[in-house]
Chain A
Amino acid sequence: MPENVLDVHDLDVRFATEAGTIHAVRDVSFSLTRGEVLALVGESGSGKSATAMSLTALNRAAGNTRVTGSVRLHGRELMTLSERELRDVRGAQVAMVFQDPMTSLNPVRRVGDLIAEVIRAHDPVPRRAAARRAVELLHEVGIAEPGRRAELFPHQLSGGMRQRVLIAMALALRPAVLVADEPTTALDVTIQAQILRLIRVLRAEHGTSVLLITHDLGVVAGLADRVAVMYAGRIVETAPTSAILASPRHPYTAGLLESIPRIDHPRSARLPSIAGQPPTLQDDDPGCSFAPRCRSAHEACARRPVLSDGIACHLPGGRR
């Protein structure tokens, strides 16, 4: 068993809002080994992004958020670090690739400067050296004519190139963990494939562990080694990608997979969907959060199932 790069244990995130406390992430635990790609899958509001933001306490500055639990990077606890110590971790050891390359780049600065900025935030290298390194990184993420393109402003680049720039920024300091929050959602399908290939190559070259946050199961199939499915703030199922795609055990996972149109299946009149709405994350009901929408719910589901052996369900496999 290889040593874990990242260990998350009992992560719990609550936001205080005017409408009451939102319990966004509930007892989430997972780990990442070196070079592993773990996909965190779930619908909007299931707590994926809140989990990602909590890893380096990015949501701590917002006064209304309370995060508890443990996040260990190479065995070092991050939750108790000061803001100053965290600054050295962010970007250098745990880096993020954001969802929207249109808005995640400072519009008034040249992309080369943006990358150099990340380097200089951690490493007091001379301006020139940082600029040279930025060009190398642009080359590394597959941007042609990197020297010329480093001089460009974000609006002069296409969406795919901007996403490459974001990845170059994230990789500038060779982080151990790359958190990619919906890295392909804002891109065309063809560009998506390029970006996924790029992440795969970089992972192989540098042994970077990747926490991939997505609701796109196609992306999961193409990139992830392992999948953790989140529902209402909890991980309800976790398994190797091939296993979960072939034989989902949790009824929610099964429902998710059924709701994807597939090119090799006969086209039915209607795409199946999961009836009902996900629960509001305010009140913590004692039973299974998915029970109200579950086809196989029964009496036992009034008690909350615990995650054991990669699944949190009283009736794994369900009854058809």
Chain B
Amino acid sequence: MAGAELTGQATIAGPWRLALRRLRRNRVALAAGASFAVLVAICTVGAPIWVALVAHHGPEYENLSGSISDGGRVVPVVADDGTPIGPGWRGAYLLGADANGRDLLVRVLYGGRTSLVIGLGSAALCLTLALSLALLAGYRRGITDTVIARGLDLIWSFPVYLLAVAIATVLAVNGVHLGPIEIPSDSTLIPIVVIAVVYVPYAARPLRGEVLALREREFVEAAIAHGAGAWRTMTRELLPNVLNTALVLLALIVANNILTEAALSYLGVGVALTTPSWGNIIEAGASSIVTAPMLTIAPGVMIVVAAVSLNVLGDGLRDALDPHGVVRVDR
């Protein structure tokens, strides 16, 4: 009998642990992951703390006629000609105010919540839909696959933003009324659903290809020969084999969706204007980009940090999860 002694934990490390080990050696990806985590933390936990301890007003608080003391002088939050106060070293209005006298930093922090919720939420929804369709198409093959694949092609054939704007416009006017499902037209669920749907082909098409290839592997046949039904074959045999791809896609899609949210909000069909989001803040500040550039720069920097860190993290995940990876970590 082949009875080599098993020694140490190293032998037992599964593919996920090996991937984690590879990821930990990739400093760039780790730094990217950390900066995204910091971003999430300051928007979720940091925002209310900042408001409670320093700013003393929320994101909706308007201060059109008030004034604050800035370095000993008393200055109006919004000047007579409508120019808001700029950034300065003080507690409230650290990054200045917007045209309505609202605290820009507080708005950027709270807007980050909206943008992140939309980015993460739509990515989760998008990937769930994509995985379901890919597994179904790849498992059933034949006519089911044809219908799903052509449906994805149909969505993909539209320019993403054009399709998103079209759907979002319809939904933003009417809201959603589908039997028991009622979504008011100003809900953040609408941009989540819209962004998720338009990017489903982006995730579903590569996943479907992988599932189709896996479907022909002998272990799938073996599982069926052992009595596995459709559900069991899809969830236990096929799904675990595409999770690594799905994870990489998740990071990239979150980044992409944060950008899409900003773009849609900028075009006025994203998040309702009453809710701050990075896209909304830029949209509102765009008209005064010369007199108050911070209104577009601050949320813009946040978007860039979020998108870049997630993209770099996604690349690192792809390297780490590649089973053939000798891994490019010697940087």
Contacts and interface: CB of A to CB of B under 8 A. Distances in A.
Interface in A248-305: none
A152 B225 contact: no
A152 B11 contact: yes
A136 interface: no
Contacts of A142: 1
B6 A98 contact: no
Interface in A53-75: 56, 58, 61, 63
Given A103-B218, A106-B219, A110-B14, A56 B1 contact: no
A92 B217 contact: no
Interface string A117-135: 1100110000000000000
A149 to B, nearest CB: 7
B12 to A, nearest CB: 5
B301 interface: no
Given A145-B6, A153-B14, A194-B1, A96 B226 contact: yes
B229 A153 contact: no
B91 interface: no
Contacts of A148: 6, 12
A86 to B, nearest CB: 8
Nearest to A99: B218
A106 B12 contact: no
Nearest to B239: A108
A311 interface: no
B218 A100 contact: yes
B13 to A, nearest CB: 9
Nearest to A172: B226
Interface stretch (A20-28, A36-44, A155-163): A155-163
A35 B15 CA distance: 40
A160 B219 CA distance: 17
Nearest to A86: B227
Interface in B205-234: 217-219, 221-229, 232
A105 to B, nearest CB: 6
A95 interface: yes
Contact of B236 (A56, A63, A117): A117
B228 A105 contact: no
Contacts of A84: 229
A88 B11 CA distance: 36
A142 B224 CA distance: 25
A152 to B, nearest CB: 7
Contact of B228 (A109, A121, A152): A121
A151 interface: yes
A106 B227 contact: no
B180 interface: no
B227 A87 contact: yes
Q: Interface size class for chain B?
A: 20 to 34
A67 B1 CA distance: 41
A144 B1 contact: yes
A91 interface: yes
A158 B227 contact: no
Chain B facing A: main interface SS: helix
B228 A151 contact: no
Given A104-B218, A104-B222, A106-B219, A118 B12 contact: no
B2 interface: yes
A170 interface: yes
Contacts of A170: 226
A213 B15 CA distance: 34
B186 interface: no
B219 A103 contact: yes
B2 A105 contact: no
A90 B1 contact: no
Contacts of A109: 236, 240
A60 to B, nearest CB: 11
A229 interface: no
A169 interface: yes
B62 interface: no
Interface in A159-190: 160-161, 166, 169-170
A98 B223 CA distance: 11
Contacts of B1: 142, 144, 194
Given A98-B218, A117-B236, A153-B15, A106 B6 contact: no
Contact of B226 (A100, A118, A160): A118
A166 B232 CA distance: 18
Contacts of A108: 14-15, 240-241
A316 interface: no
Contacts of B241: 106-108
A112 B104 CA distance: 56
Most chain-A CB neighbours within 10 Å: which of B221, B223, B241? B223
A160 B3 CA distance: 11
B237 A106 contact: yes
A312 B175 CA distance: 76
Nearest to B240: A108
B227 A98 contact: no
Contacts of B232: 117, 121
A135 B182 CA distance: 51
Interface in B151-208: none
A235 B11 CA distance: 48
9 contacts: A61-B224, A89-B227, A90-B224, A91-B227, A98-B222, A106-B240, A106-B241, A121-B229, A122-B227
Closest 7 CB pairs of A and B: A91-B227, A91-B226, A90-B227, A103-B218, A96-B225, A104-B222, A106-B219
Given A95-B226, A117-B226, A117-B232, 20 more contacts: A87-B228, A87-B229, A88-B227, A91-B225, A91-B227, A92-B227, A98-B218, A98-B221, A100-B218, A104-B218, A104-B221, A106-B223, A106-B241, A107-B219, A117-B223, A121-B227, A144-B1, A152-B12, A161-B2, A194-B1
